Structure 1
Amino acid sequence: MDVTFVCSSEEAPFKMEVGFFDTVRDIKQKLQGRKGWLATAMSLSHDGHALVDDVDDESHGFTGRYGLVEGSVVHVALDDDDTLRARRLKESRMPSVKTRRDGVAPPAPPLRLTVVSRCGARRLEVAVRASGTVSALRVYLERASSSGSGGFPLPRDGGYFFIHGQSVMDEARSFEWHGVAAGDEVVVFPGSVTRGPAH
Structure 2
Amino acid sequence: MDTVQSLKEKIHIVDGTSIKRMILYFCGTEMEDEFRSVTEYGIEERSEVIVFLKSSTREMVNNNRPPGKFINVVVETSSSLLNSAKIPIEILDSSRVDEMGKLLLERKILPVDEYIFIHKQRVMNDGCSLRWHGVENGDYIYVFKGTVGGGEC
TM-score after normalising by structure 2: 0.51
Per the alignment, residue 57 of structure 2 pairs with: 103
What is the aligned counterpart of 1:131 among 72, 79, 94? Answer: 94
**SS in structure 1 at match of 2:126:** coil
Unaligned 5+ runs, structure 2: 1-54, 61-66
Per the alignment, residue 148 of structure 1 pairs with: none
What is the aligned counterpart of 1:117 among 74, 77, 83? Answer: 77
Q: Partners in 2 of 1:108 and 1:143 — Cα distance?
A: 21
Per the alignment, residue 146 of structure 2 pairs with: 191
Number of aligned residue pairs: give it.
88
Counterparts of residues 83-102 of structure 1 (less than 5 Å)? 102=56
**Aligned-pair CA distance for 1:141:** 0.7
Q: Partners in 1 of 2:97 and 2:121 — Cα distance?
A: 16
Q: Partners in 1 of 2:76 and 2:92 — Cα distance?
A: 18
**Aligned-pair CA distance for 1:161:** 1.1
Per the alignment, residue 175 of structure 1 pairs with: 130
**Aligned-pair CA distance for 1:194:** 3.6
Counterparts of residues 29-108 of structure 1 (less than 5 Å)? 102-104=56-58, 107-108=67-68
Q: Partners in 2 of 1:103 and 1:163 — Cα distance?
A: 36
Fraction of identical pairs, as percent: 26
Per the alignment, residue 161 of structure 1 pairs with: 116
**Aligned-pair CA distance for 1:163:** 0.5
| Kept in 2: contact 1:122–1:153 (CA 8 A) | no
Unaligned 5+ runs, structure 1: 1-100, 146-151
Per the alignment, residue 23 of structure 2 pairs with: none
> Could you say which structure has the larger radius of gyration?
1
Matched AA of 1:188: V
- Say yes or no: does 1:141 pair with 2:101: no
Matched AA of 1:137: M
Over aligned residues, Cα RMSD in angstroms?
2.4
